[in-house]
Each structure stands twice: as structure tokens, then as C-alpha cells.
Amino acid sequence: MITGIVIAAVVVALALIVVALYNKLVRLRNRCENAWSQVDVQLRRRYDLIPNLVETVKGYASHERETFEAVTRARAAAQEAKSIAEQAKAENMLTQALGRLFALAEAYPELRATENFQALQAQLVEIEQAIAISRQVYNDTVLTYDTAIESVPTNIIAGVFNFGPREYFEIEEPARQPVQVKF
């Protein structure tokens, strides 16, 4: 009789541990999805701003059609990305295209002086900062999740219930030129 009670208690305890570990993995997986949706919100804000930016620059440099088309293509590719790796690649292309657009804007002092362009540029800087923060939160959340599915004993539960690793959202930071001081 006592042996049966001990065995039943051990089985119940193991079942509770499995349920607790499973729930932990579900909670972490959902946090990853929530963190990605925050990144996605910021990326969509960026996508919504880009047409206004392009149109503003177009008004001053309409002959630079290739640059505008490159930005438009890069924006479309970023919006259509399916996986996180595709998204990162598309975001890198979009960042490069926007860099060319801003380089073009530098050639037009009257454009840089307009309130509309300055406001759009400020909004883009704000959105870029929000993307960087959201990306960091997402990557931190993925790190926590991936660590959990690789650690004992949750790795056993992760394997049984097919919890797989998540991809990090890594984009290339723009190359920074060293500051040159001349006297």
C-alpha cells in the first residue's frame, strides 16, 4: 500500500514538473512572438514613412529615378519577407537604399532646408531608434528562449514537444567612418 502511494506521488510530482516546464517553454515562445510583433510594428512605421520621404526628395531631384526605384524595390522586398533571415537581408538592402537617398538629398541644400524634409528625417531617426530597441528586446527574448530549450531539464521537454530554436534578427549596422580631426 505504501509503495503504491509513493509511486503515485512520484508520478504526480513528475507530471507537475513536466507541466511546469512545458508552460515555461510556451511562455517563452509567446514572448518571442510578442517581441517580434513589436519589431514588426516599428518596421511598418518605417515602411509607411518611406513613400513620403521619396516623394519629398523627388520634388527636388526628379532626374534621380534609379535611386527612387531602388528605395521602392527595397521597401517592397522588406514588406514581403517571410522569415526573419529574409527580413534581415531585406532590411540591409533598404538601409543601403535609404543611405543613397540621403546622400542624394545632401546635394540639394534647398531640400535639406525644407521643414517637410527635416520632419521626415527626424521621424526616420526616431523610428530607427525604436527599431534598434525592439530588435534588442527581441534578440534578448530569443536568447532566453533558446537557452531554455538547450538547458537540462527543459531540453527534454523541448525535444518531446518540438520546441525549436528561434532566429535572431541581425542586421548590419551602417559602417561608421572614423572621426577625423584636422587643425
- Domain presence at residue 24: no
pLDDT at 182 over 50: no
Domain hosting residue 129, numbered range: 2-19+48-160
Which tens digits make up the pLDDT trace of 123-159? Answer: 999 999 999 999 999 999 999 999 999 999 999 999 9
The least confident of 23-27, 40-44, 158-162, 175-179 is 175-179
This prediction's pTM: 0.84
- Domain presence at residue 33: no
156 exposed, middle or buried (CB, 10 Å; 0-12, 13-18, 19+)?
exposed
| Residues 124-147 as b or e (16 or more Cβ within 10 Å = b) | beebeebbeebbebbbebbeebbe
Domain total in the chain: 1
- Domain presence at residue 176: no
Percent of the residues in the chain that have a pLDDT greater than 90, as a whole number = 73
pLDDT at 181 over 90: no
- Domain presence at residue 177: no
- Domain presence at residue 35: no
- Domain presence at residue 10: yes
> In this predicted structure, what is the pLDDT of residue 174?
56
pLDDT at 183 over 60: no
- Domain presence at residue 180: no
- Domain presence at residue 31: no
- Taking alpha carbons only, the member of 30, 29, 19 closest to residue 145 is 29
